[in-house]
Structure 1
Amino acid sequence: MIRLPRAATLGLATLLTGLASVAQAEPRPPYPFTAEYRLKAGGWPQATIEQRLERQSDGEWSSLMTASASIASGREYGQFHLDEDGDRLIADDFQSRYRLLGFGKDYRFDPEQSKGLPDRQTALIEIGRRLDDPQCRNERTPPCRVDYLDHRQRTRSLEYRVVATPTIDTALGRWPTVQVEARDPRHPDRRFDFYVDPRYPGLMVKVDYYKSEVLDSQMWLTAFTPAAIDAPR
């Protein structure tokens, strides 16, 4: 969820907006992994995205995401832990840095001001843990609505629904995914289609972004390495 230049229309900050559900389905456990993506946003040069989810020896988890293009770069780092029941992810820290032509800003998350909401990195993992929530799969009910904090700790919302479970072609072969359709209530003419791996919370296989039903930007998986010996296959 790196934030690339605003004029790029779909920087990684927007593209990788996380989700966090409050439904009652048993959440999936996280697994450590590393992944690499390519991002094509509007008329800007393609960017390389690197993602790493790690479990520390003290039970803390860390999520690092970096983006680099010819004129811009970004970095987001989050830390979280699971509660005693393993049901909820609790954000502990979030740091971000964005640069355009060498200039930019750094941001630091204040957990005391979190309002009980996830930061973007923590929420990105949470979506993969909540794919089985039945309330988000029913077309006859309103979509799920989630709140999260952006890099400035502003509250943002996203409405989403699981719409399909396609197996798609990738540079790494055929890949089973869960398709999540999401919209920002402030911009109903814009839509995200997240194709995520149900086995690895936080891993995205492809993301499409539409404006007025026209494909505007894309991100796709180019490399993936599971770090856990007991990781799902």
Structure 2
Amino acid sequence: MDKGLTLRKICILKDAKPLIEVDHHIPPGEILTVMGPSGVGKSTLLAYITGTLGPDFTGMGEIALDGRDITTTPPHLRQIGILFQDDLLFPHMSVGANLAFGMPPGGRRAVRQRLIAEALRDVGLEGYANRDPATLSGGQRARVALVRMMLSQPKALLLDEAFSRLDVALRAQVRTLIFQTAQDRGLPVLMVTHDAEDAAAAKGPVIELRSLSGG
């Protein structure tokens, strides 16, 4: 069984024309960077992997996670976490409630609260469970988004321009935290970015996408 995330002969069409083609295996702990100009299909590739490809596109090829074909698996059962450039925290929920939302259902309340407290401590936010997300800095919000995603127990991680709205110093800090967390947990990572520094920091293979359709 091939551990990691396998993209086997992926081809995504738009208006019956090839938009993007990828064939790559990402082992546990490795970060594959996908770069290319806007409109080339980087986020569309992530949508195909998460099972949320829009109706304007047609996807072909196999997605396998730890050797299991998940190409037709419903999105919520794929065990793939994704972080976007926006943290997407729920403004009407506390930090702790946001984190609880990301956890698998079930389990005793006390156990869930302990896991949340431990996860916050691990990213330097001990005691923040009752905080309003609106009171957090950009870096704190990014860390909460990371913790919420990790509490969902993903087996692979996608990064969709996840650092693009952070200033230079904060970008490096959050990027290091996310990369280290993924590597510590043996998660294959696919990162979409415009930034060459992100790619260099990932220390993994880089795919440069170019338009296949000429548009």
> Do both share a fold (TM > 0.5)?
no
Q: Which has the higher contact order (CA 8 A, sep 6+)?
A: 2
Q: Which one has the bigger helix percentage? A: 2
Q: TM-score range by the shorter chain?
A: 0.3 to 0.5
The structure with more radius of gyration: 2
